[in-house]
């Protein structure tokens, strides 16, 4: 059996991913795993170094790239400013458009008055409520009150108040 | 490393001048470009996307709240751009057919630092680099991004999680799977 093909495979990966104390503890005491981790780590280290070297560019390249980015950024700023400059013109045009439409014949707003029938019925209801409130006797006891008035020959009990209220509301 | 300029970038993002932005570009362009080159494996596209990345950063300054480092934020924009690029790349079939897709793989293998190594050792080292690239090519876009940020950019797991908008646990899982494949491939080589 190859020393690389051991039963502790996941522990090597876990240790390489990092921060796994159990894996680290095992590898510290297991020689085949230690060798295996070193081999993989070395390959990964070479991979990283080779790629960093490959991506390396001369200073002139970075200067040129920074220059292109600055040009693109300035063009973007100019575009946004041009768009912002257009906004007031568009607003003025819209306002003019609304003003012209507002003056067109047949578009004037008409004042809406409340329906006459509704005002009358409201007024009548109010008069009715005040009249009922002004009575000295409730409506249900009115026949009894009449009988008392008739027998005593007095004037009607509600007559004065009612006539006053009627006058105040019906005016 | 964060400086007064870059930390002020978050707080007063809208007030940044062209000179300050230029300083940020010069400070971070190498890493952003390298990351994009590794992801798209096409030097010309990496140049275009680097420019696009900084332009987007400038246009979205207000969305940078300084919760992560400026570099992490830039790498996140770069990763999103590379993902969109991979989705939209119509010529990928022809590139693969003509072998242009192997540009980074072969390019990196040719840049293995030799030092005092013998020609045979250099050859073996190049094989290793090709093998690891071969595995990286088979990974999903996100797994590759995680793998490259860890082993090329040598970033911490939390930084990688921030840059790619992942949980640290997911970063570990991606790395674990990638490493299993790398180990298998290296075992086959020997």
Same-domain check for residues B85 and B97: no
Q: How confident is the model at residue A161 (pLDDT cuts 50, 70, 90)?
A: low
Indicate which CATH number applies to the domain containing B134. Answer: 1.10.10.10
Out of A81-95, A134-148, B20-34, B88-102, the most confident range is B20-34
Indicate which CATH number applies to the domain containing B37. Answer: 1.10.1740.10
Among candidate residues A152, A158, A123, the one with its CA nearest the CA of residue A139: A158
Residues of B in contact with A59 (CB under 8 A): none
Same-domain check for residues B28 and B15: yes
Q: What is the mean pLDDT of chain A?
A: 76
Structure-model confidence comparison of residues A75 and B91, the more confident one: A75
Same-domain check for residues B116 and B72: no
- Complex ipTM over 0.85: no
Last residue of a domain, one of B63, B89, B115: B89
The number of domains in chain B is 2
From the list B112, B179, B187, which residue is nearest A46 (CB)? B112
For residue B169, the chain A residue with the least C-alpha distance is A17
Q: What is the pLDDT of residue B28?
A: 96
B71-85 average pLDDT score: 93
Same-domain check for residues B133 and B77: no
Residues of B in contact with A53 (CB under 8 A): 108, 111, 113
Tell me the per-residue pLDDT of A54-107, one tens digit each, with 9 for 90 and over: 999 999 999 999 999 999 888 888 887 788 777 778 888 888 888 888 776 555
Same-domain check for residues B111 and B188: yes
Among candidate residues B151, B190, B133, B177, the one with its CA nearest the CA of residue A4: B190
Contact A44 B132 (CB under 8 A): yes
Same-domain check for residues B100 and B137: yes
**Which of A51, A62, A70, A83 has the highest number of chain B CBs within 10 A, making it the mutation to test binding with B?**
A51
**Alpha-carbon distance B85 to B90, whole Å?**
9
Tell me the per-residue pLDDT of A4-50, one tens digit each, with 9 for 90 and over: 455 467 888 888 887 678 888 888 888 888 888 898 899 999 999 99
Give A26→chain B minimum CA distance, Å: 17
Same-domain check for residues B3 and B65: yes
Contact B22 A70 (CB under 8 A): yes
Same-domain check for residues B145 and B56: no
Q: What is the pLDDT of residue A44?
A: 92
Last residue of a domain, one of B89, B111, B140: B89
Domain enclosing residue B59, as ranges: 1-89
């Amino acid at each position: 059996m190859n020393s690389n093909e051991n039963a502790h495979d996941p522990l090597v990966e876990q240790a390489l991913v990092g921060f796994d104390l159990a894996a680290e503890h095992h590898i510290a005491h297991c020689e085949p795993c230690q060798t295996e981790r070193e081999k993989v780590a070395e390959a990964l280290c070479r991979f990283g170094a080779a790629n960093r070297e490959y991506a390396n560019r001369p200073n002139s390249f970075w200067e040129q790239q920074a220059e292109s980015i600055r040009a693109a950024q300035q063009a973007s700023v100019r575009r946004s400013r041009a768009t912002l400059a257009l906004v007031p013109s568009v607003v003025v045009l819209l306002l003019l458009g609304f003003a012209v439409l507002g003056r067109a014949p047949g578009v004037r707003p008409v004042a809406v008055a409340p329906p006459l029938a509704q005002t009358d019925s409201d007024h009548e209801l109010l008069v009715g409520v005040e009249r009922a409130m002004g009575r000295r006797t409730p409506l249900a006891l009115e026949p009894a009150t009449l009988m008392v008035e008739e027998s005593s020959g007095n004037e009607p009990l509600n007559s004065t108040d009612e006539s006053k209220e009627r006058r105040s509301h019906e005016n | 490393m964060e400086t007064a300029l870059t930390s002020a970038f978050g707080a007063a993002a809208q007030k940044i001048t062209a000179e300050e932005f230029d300083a940020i570009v010069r400070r971070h362009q190498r890493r952003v470009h390298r990351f994009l080159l590794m992801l798209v494996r096409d030097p010309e596209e990496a140049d275009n996307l680097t420019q696009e990345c900084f332009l987007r950063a400038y246009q979205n300054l207000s969305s940078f709240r300084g919760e992560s480092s400026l570099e992490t934020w830039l790498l996140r924009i770069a990763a999103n751009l590379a993902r969109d690029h991979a989705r939209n790349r119509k010529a990928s079939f022809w590139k693969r057919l003509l072998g242009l897709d192997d540009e980074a793989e072969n390019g990196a293998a040719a840049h293995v630092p030799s030092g005092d190594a013998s020609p045979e050792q250099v050859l073996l080292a190049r094989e290793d680099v090709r093998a690891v690239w071969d595995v990286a090519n088979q990974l999903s876009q996100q797994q590759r991004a995680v793998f490259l940020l860890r082993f090329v950019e040598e970033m911490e797991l939390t930084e990688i999680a921030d840059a790619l908008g992942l949980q640290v646990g997911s970063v570990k899982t991606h790395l674990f799977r990638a490493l299993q494949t790398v180990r298998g491939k290296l075992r086959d080589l020997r």
